[in-house]
Amino acid sequence: MSDTDPAYDAIRRDGVLRVSRPDAEWLSTGWDGGRCVAAHAYNVSVPEGWGQTDLGEYVDDRLERAGFDRASADAAGPALLTGVDIADARGARRGPVTAYATAGVSNPAALPMEPSDAASEPDGVQGDDSSAERGQGRGTVNVIVGTTRALAPGALANLIAVAAEAKAATLLAETGFPGTTTDAVVVGHDPSGTPADFSGSGTEVGAAARACVRDAVRASLRAHYADGDVERPDSVADAPYGVSTAERAAVFRPRPADEAVEPEG
């Protein structure tokens, strides 16, 4: 198999990206997340100003209009939603891993290490948070990662953490933000593949996933902002949507095991 012949193939049509592998098991952090076994996972581009509330009906309608049959049980896989044009999606493959990304940061989520208490709002965010709750403009960073290995249950869950870490590191380097207000990750594996008990950064799967996510996110960012019709914000204040976590949390030290515990009640 060449680097241009991914084990998780994808096609795009009418604003929908469909990533496919027969009988894959998926784990999604998206709106209808969790685990499922299906032949496909989807990334659906939504128009700016989109305000749909029945997400299931909307996704079904978009997939039907794009000619993707989601009626059969094996086709009803996880779906993500993005404000980024699907034409800006990019894929990357290394070894047993393939990743696809759509990346835009019109709704950045900043996390300053030294937040300004003066700028803190009552709900702990700074920026147009009323819009940020649902608004994304032409933003969101969605990542779909698939491996041909058969991952242990914990390794599949950990692959989400590996992908999210790689996404955040890439976005910090490229944009100065670790993410947006609406990012999501889907990971998949092949239950019939070669078993792998772990997926951390030091494993074959984890290392490949980090490289694939980094390169797919960078490529999608560059495609999204290449023609100049979308301007990349330099700060939350410059963004049409977005938040900055300005509130501080109370930090404490866990109590020793031999410390007396007051009885309840």
Domains, the chain, with CATH or none? 9-245 (3.60.70)
Between CA 84 and CA 79 the distance in angstroms is 15
**pLDDT score at 131:** 43
Q: 124 pLDDT band (50/70/90 cuts)?
A: very low
Contact call for residues 202 and 68 (beta carbons, < 8 A): no
Q: How many residues does the chain have?
A: 265
Least confident of 101-105, 162-166, 258-262: 258-262
For 161, residues 6+ apart whose C-beta sits below 8 A from its C-beta are none
SS3 204: helix
Burial (0-12, 13-18, 19+ Cβ within 10 Å), 108: buried
Say if residues 200 and 158 touch (Cβ distance below 8 Å). yes
Closest CA to 60 of 48, 42, 47: 42
Q: What angle do CA 36, 40, 219 make, to 5 degrees?
A: 115
Order of strands, sheet of 243-245, starting from the edge strand that comes earlier in the sequence: 109-110, 243-245, 125-126
Which range has highest mean pLDDT (106-110, 111-115, 137-141)? 106-110
Report the alpha-carbon distance of residue 217 to residue 84 in Å, rounded.
12
The mean of the pLDDT values for the chain is 88
pLDDT tens figures, 55-89 = 999 999 999 999 997 766 666 799 999 999 999 99
Other beta carbons less than 10 A from residue 248's beta carbon: 11
User: What integer pLDDT is reported at residue 116 of this predicted model?
Assistant: 74
Instruction: Please return the burial class of 4, using the count of CB atoms within 10 Å of its CB with bins 0-12, 13-18 and 19+.
Output: exposed
Rounded Cα distance, 197 and 199, in Å: 7
* Residue 118: predicted pLDDT: 45
Amino acid, single-letter form, for residue 117: D
pLDDT per residue as tens digits for the range 164-177: 999 999 999 999 99
User: 92: which 2 tokens?
Assistant: 């990357």
What is the pLDDT confidence band of residue 135, given thresholds at 50, 70 and 90? Answer: low
Quick one: how many helices (H) and strands (E) in the chain?
Answer: 4, 13
Q: Which residues pair with 109 in a beta bridge?
A: 243
